[in-house]
Amino acid sequence: MTIKRKPQSHVAVVGAGMTKFLRRALETPKELAFEAAQAALESANMTLDDIDCVIHGTAPDAFDGVHMKGEYLSDGSGGWNKPYIRCYVGGGTGVFAPIHGWLHIASGMFETALVVCEEKMSSCLPHPQGAFLTIFDNFIERPLKPNLLWIFAMEMNRYMNTYGISVRDIAHVSVKNKANALLHPAAQLGAELTVDEVVNSPIMAWPVHRLMVSPPSDGACAVVLANEKRAKKITKKPVWISGVGWNLDTSYWTNRDLAYPQYVEKAARMAYEMAGIREPKKEINIVEPYDPFAYKELHHLEGLLLADRGKACELAIDGISARTGNMPVCPSGGLLGVGNPIAAAGLMKVCELFWQLREEAGPRQVPGKPETGLAQAWGDLMQVGTVIIMRNKK
C-alpha cells in the first residue's frame, strides 16, 4: 500500500510505566491502570493536567464480567473529563492502542496523549480461557466443544510441517525468553531452563507443550506520547514513533494459509514504508514480536520479514536473537517470561523498546547502542497484526 498523507507532526514516546505482571493481583483493574499510568507520567515528569487525550486498550469485557469496561477503567486511566477512546483487537490491542495514540497526535488534533492498557484475567473462573470460547463460530465450531489451544496447536503444527521444523527447534524460544525475563523485575515466569526441559514438559495440545505457552496474568502498562514541540521540552531522550501499521485477515480462519501470517507482513510493510525502511533485517536492531506461544515469535519474525520463511528458529538456535546477539528478540522476556495480561502484554513490548532505546533497561540492556526497534502484537481469531517502529533518532 502507499500511504497517502504525511502526518501533521512527528510523535514521540516520552514516558513509560508498568505494574508487575502477576498470576493474581490484589489490585482492582482500575488500580492497576492507575499504577501504570501514574508511573508513566512520573517518568516523564508530567501530571495528568499535561495530557490532552487518553487512549485505553483492554480485551474482552467477559474477563472481568464488567460491561463498558473501557468506561469502568477510564478514571484509573486518567480519562475523566478528557477525550477518551477504548480500542480493541484482541491480543493485538497492546500495540493497536499506541497506534491510536499516534493517530491522535499525528492528526494534529492533540499535543500529548496517555496510552494505558490493562488486563485482569484472574477474576474469570474457572479459567479465563472460558471467555475466549465465543470467538468460535456459533454453529459450525462451538458445538465441537473447542478450546483456545486447538487453533494455536493446529497453526503451530501446520507451520512445523510446512518447513520441517521440530518441537525442539521451537523450544529454543522458550529457553531464551524465560531466561531474559529473569532480569525483568516485573516478570511473572522468568526461569532458567534447558531445551530438554521444554521438550519434556507436559503436552497440552500437541505440538504445544506447557513450557511453550504464556501464562494468564494481571497487569497494566502505560506510555505517554507527545508531538515534536512538546516532546523536546519534556525530555532530552524522546523515542520517536517512525512507523505504524495494522492489518486484519479474514475470520474464516480455516480458509487461510496457516503457515504464514500474511496480515503481519501487510502491517509490517505499512510501517516500514512509513519509516523509510527498505532492508528490515539490516535496519531493525531490536525486536519485540508477540510471543504468547513459542512458535509465534518465529511465525511473526517471518511475517515481519526479519527472517526467511521457515528459518526463524535458526536465529534462536544460533544465538542471533539472544540479548547479546546481532538482532535481540524479546529482550524483555516476552509474554512467555514476563506474562500475558492480554492488552497490557503488547504495550509491555513498547515500554521495553522505550527503555532499551534510551539505554535505561538496566541489566536487560542490549549492547551496541540500538537505534531502531520494532514491536508487534497479534490477536483476534489469529488474524490481526499490529506493528510499531520506534527510533531514538528522528
Partner 1 sequence: MKKTHLNFAGTPLSNEVFVNNKVSITESNPNAQYEYDTGLGIGKFLQGLKEGKILGTHCEKCNRTVVPPRIFCELCFGTQISWKELKTTGRVNTFSLCYVNWDATIIKEPHIPAVIEIDGATPPCGIMHLIDEVRPEDVKIGMKVQAVFKDERERQGSITDIKYWVPIK
Residues in contact with partner 1 by the rule CB under 8 A: 16-27, 32, 35-36, 38-39, 42-43, 65, 126-127, 129-130, 133, 137-141, 143-151, 153-155, 157-158, 161, 185-186, 202-208, 218-219, 250, 252, 254-258, 351, 355, 360, 362
Q: How far is the CB of 254 from partner 1 (least distance, A)?
A: 5
* Shorter beta-carbon distance to partner 1: residue 131 or 275: 131
- Minimal CA–CA distance to 376: which of 319, 274, 283, 304? 304
Q: What angle do CA 147, 150, 154 make, to 5 degrees?
A: 170
- Minimal CA–CA distance to 1: which of 226, 268, 185? 268
CB-neighbour burial class of residue 28 (10 A; exposed 0-12, middle 13-18, buried 19+): middle
Distance CA 148, CA 311 (A): 26
Contacts 24+ apart (CB under 8 A), 73-77: 73/29, 73/30, 73/33, 73/116, 73/118, 75/30, 76/28, 76/29, 76/30, 76/31, 76/32, 76/33, 76/34, 76/37, 76/116, 76/118, 77/33, 77/34, 77/37, 77/114, 77/116, 77/118, 77/222
CB-neighbour burial class of residue 138 (10 A; exposed 0-12, middle 13-18, buried 19+): exposed
Q: How far is the CB of 108 from partner 1 (least distance, A)?
A: 30
* Shorter beta-carbon distance to partner 1: residue 221 or 377: 221
* Shorter beta-carbon distance to partner 1: residue 234 or 277: 234
* Shorter beta-carbon distance to partner 1: residue 65 or 276: 65
Cell of 170: 521451537
Q: How far is the CB of 129 from partner 1 (least distance, A)?
A: 5
Q: How far is the CB of 360 from partner 1 (least distance, A)?
A: 7
Distance CA 17, CA 39 (A): 5
* Shorter beta-carbon distance to partner 1: residue 75 or 273: 75
Q: How far is the CB of 202 from partner 1 (least distance, A)?
A: 8
- Minimal CA–CA distance to 354: which of 369, 338, 341, 373? 373
Q: How far is the CB of 204 from partner 1 (least distance, A)?
A: 5
* Shorter beta-carbon distance to partner 1: residue 257 or 308: 257
* Shorter beta-carbon distance to partner 1: residue 38 or 281: 38
Q: How far is the CB of 126 from partner 1 (least distance, A)?
A: 5
